[in-house]
Amino acid sequence: MAWGAWLFVEATSPGDLLALGVAVVVSDLLVDWLVLPVVVLAGWLVSRHLPPWLRAPAQVALMATGAVLLVGWLPLRGSARSVGNPTVQPVDYGPAIAVTLAVVWSVAGVWAAWRRWSSRA
Amino acid sequence: VTTASPVDAEVLAPPRSERSAALLGLALGVAFLVCFVTGIVSHLIQDPPSWFTWPPRPAGLYRVTQGVHVTTGLVCIPLLVAKLWVVHPKLFERPTVRPLAHAVERVALLPLVGGATFLLLSGLGNVNIVRPYPFGFRDGHLAAAWITMGALVVHVAAKWAQTRPHLTLHPDPDAQDVPDVQGALVEVVEAGAAVAVAEGALDRRGFLAAVAGTSGLVALLTVGQAFEPLRSLAVLAPRRPDIGPQGFPVNRTAASVGLTQVDLVAYRLVVDGPGAATPLQLTYDDLRAMDQHEAELPIACVEGWSTSQRWRGVRVRDLVAAAGGEGGRPLTVISMQDSERLKTSEVNEAQADDPELLLALEVGGEVLHADHGFPARLIGPNRPGVQQTKWVARIEVA
């Protein structure tokens, strides 16, 4: 850990080390107090308020949706639009992500329907 | 909520458990180690110490290491969220700090969790041109990697005795599970033996399979920026290897460095330096009149995208020989652009002598587009894209 800090100070400045420390702490707070509470809340709602045949498919689909949106969020909002390089984020990510999520939820829907049918049989 | 018999315990084991934490921790540890090693290799190539020589062969090795680096980093995002979700209740355990070893482990969690999260967020941001911090991405990412790996070693050392029984095929039934603070989803009835899982919800195996599937989905939707057969599936990747001038992307455009219109009448390629006995000044026409050679070589960006292209131009070793230089001397290639970081690149002895190190004038059968470095760019095997210098004006022979 000290080696990393030393490398950083050698390449930048002590002031930047403080900025890096802040970035690490903010990253920790972001995941512990924003991302995880949202995940916990979603899990709680699914396990408490959905019928049993729908729970596992909804959990899996929500996990996949969350991952796709986390990774796709920046392209989706066009974060590189201002750099003047049309080869960065070159496609329309909205429809592409919508189709991906439609496939995910369709598979989850088929799985849920099968679970409901088999639980009645 | 249903209660399982001890016989069903493995089937209905809770998602939040020491075994889940251990298995996800193992997966993350391996993934972070892969990212760390491939990342350090990339740093060594770009700023080589005296003891390090990056070979020119295999030509696509850097393409693989950097593609693996970026894809593995992206795959870590759902893995890390899943791991932190599993251990999240421990954040609320009281007393916060118990014996010394526990205190050390708790303190090391801040650089571990914060560092790992920063690494993944800064990596994701970098490939999407988002860098909301006052320091350079490379410096911050490298420092955070060392800090995180150091904290990971401390964490593994502190937790190994507790974790090890959960990494076997048949875990110790007496091992303690993590109580869930929500209470309803999972409830430990009897340590590790009989548990209750919300009816129809994912049990541990289902949860771990879902995490693996989600990570696989992220890989599938991004790896196409480096692995061309899957490019049509790369809907989350910020680059497509088949989109850009002449059919592939660029990192720095000619417009961004004011080189959209290079005056070919005034253009000269200079080959000089201490190792050049008869320094040269060549016009563009002189270059075109020299022996031209072709090579199929990848261009692999540090940001993870890569593509293989057919390049045509003059062998750099022929240029060095024409300037009275000996083969196998290190070279400094200098661009017309003013960027401090991209203006020069170094070519080591092994690379300088490679017959496929070209001063390319064409790609894909066409004269280079301005964005790809017209009138001439360096292209060589097994070099990061950032070192395939564009708009070359001078080659210094050491």
The token duo for B101 is 């070893």
| pLDDT at site B162 | 85
| pLDDT at site B161 | 87
E-assigned strand segments in A1-121: none
The token duo for B212 is 């693996």
| pLDDT at site B12 | 65
pTM of this structure? 0.91
Q: Do B244 and A87 touch (CB under 8 A)?
A: yes
pLDDT digits (tens, 9 = 90+) for A76-91: 999 998 889 999 999 9
Along chain B (398 residues), what's the average pLDDT of each consecutive run of 10 residues? 43 81 96 98 96 96 98 98 94 74 80 96 97 95 96 90 84 53 38 59 94 98 96 95 97 95 96 97 98 98 96 98 94 93 93 97 98 98 97 98
**Sheet with B269-272: strands ordered across:** B280-282, B269-272, B392-397, B331-335, B344-347
Query: Does B78 reach chain A within 8 Å, measured CB to CB?
Result: yes
| pLDDT at site B243 | 96
Q: Do A72 and B74 touch (CB under 8 A)?
A: no
| pLDDT at site B6 | 44
Q: Do A24 and B218 touch (CB under 8 A)?
A: no
Mutate to test the interface with A, among B74, B79, B81 (most CBs of A within 10 A): B81
pLDDT digits (tens, 9 = 90+) for A36-45: 999 999 988 9
Rounded-to-integer distance, Cα B284 and Cα B392, Å:
11
ipTM score of complex: 0.95
Q: Higher pLDDT residue, B168 or A60?
A: A60
Q: Do A64 and B128 touch (CB under 8 A)?
A: no
> B96: exposed, middle or buried (C-beta count within 10 Å: 0-12, 13-18, 19+)?
exposed
Rounded-to-integer distance, Cα A48 and Cα A53, Å:
12
Do strands B194-197 and B186-190 pair parallel, antiparallel, or not at all (unpaired)? antiparallel
DSSP structure class, residue B245: G
**Surface of A (51-80) touching B: CB under 8 A:** 51-56, 59-60, 63-64, 66-68, 70-72, 74-75, 79-80
| pLDDT at site B153 | 93
Residue of B nearest to A44 (CA): B185
Q: Do B143 and A91 touch (CB under 8 A)?
A: no
Rounded-to-integer distance, Cα A63 and Cα A41, Å:
13
Nearest to B236 among A27, A63, A72 (CB): A72
| pLDDT at site B187 | 39
A56 backbone dihedrals φ, ψ, rounded to 5°: -60, -45
Element (H, E) at B298: strand B293-300
| pLDDT at site B10 | 43
Residue of A nearest to B79 (CA): A67
Rounded-to-integer distance, Cα A75 and Cα A97, Å:
10
| pLDDT at site B191 | 39
Q: Spell out which residues of chain B touch residue A52, defining contact as CB-CB under 8 Å.
A: 198-201
